[in-house]
Amino acid sequence: MRILAIGDIHGCSIALRTLLDVVQPGSDDILVTLGDYVDRGPDSKGVLDTLISLEKTTQLKPLIGNHEILFLDAITEQLDAEAWLRVGGRETMQSYVAEGQTPTWADVPAAHIEFLKERGLRYWETEQHIFVHANANSVYPLSEQSDDWLFWTRFDDSFPHVSGKTMICGHTAQKDGVPGLRPRAICLDTWAYGEGWLTCMDVATGEFVQANQLGQIKRLSLADLDLLSYQLPTQIIKPS
């Protein structure tokens, strides 16, 4: 059994499918997705369709991110929809209709809303790791974390958790495309919707597989990151 964690996807369905083709999570594997499935990238619909299908083939632990919160709040009119559209929601809505058509809430499948509302998790943890979207207050157990910490606080403000467990999170885009490291904390948001990569980490081995919207694959490890840096030994595989 593997525990695999995938960082912020942000509508990048090509990168997600490319990554899944490589890591091939099976029925014995646990796949933790760290939230921010929607907004900014071109195909939020395709990402949610893929995640829902993964529930049938692997042990999916889908965390909720702040962009899912904005999405759901806009749908239920708890948030001005225009405010959400300005931070990536426009791309999300457009993914539900053909090019040139004007989307409405009716175009969003009920299954997508149900998936996010009913099966989206605030956090998940094992004996050695805690998985959150954004961050965790270092002195409180996960059950007592505020929404502000779990969904909005940046990785820069992370400190080792009182549990001694390593935190794995997303939310704060690492625009060099390299997972961020702090003491007992790893950030897997590597700017998939920008010029970076979508990152999957094998938690037990410390190995990373990354994919981008061009269908390229890159591999690196925690050992590479510890060596320092920005000139990592990597293997890039061009799409055939």
Question: Over the stretch 1-35, which tens digit does the pLDDT of each residue have?
Answer: 999 999 999 999 999 999 999 999 999 999 999 99
The two tokens of residue 5 are 């964690």
pLDDT tens column, 34-56: 999 999 999 999 999 999 999 99
Rounded distance, CA 85 to CA 173, Å? Answer: 20
Q: What is the pLDDT of residue 226?
A: 77
Question: What total number of domains does the chain contain?
Answer: 1
pLDDT tens column, 217-234: 999 999 888 764 444 334
CATH of the domain at 178: 3.60.21.10
Tell me phi and psi for residue 219, to 5 degrees: -125, 145
Return the number of other C-beta atoms located less than 10 Å from residue 206's C-beta.
15
Cβ neighbours for 48, distance < 8 A, ≥ 6 positions apart = 37, 38, 112, 115, 116
Q: What is the mean pLDDT of the chain?
A: 94
Rounded distance, CA 71 to CA 91, Å? Answer: 12
Domain residues for 34?
Answer: 3-237
Does 239 have pLDDT greater than 90?
Answer: no
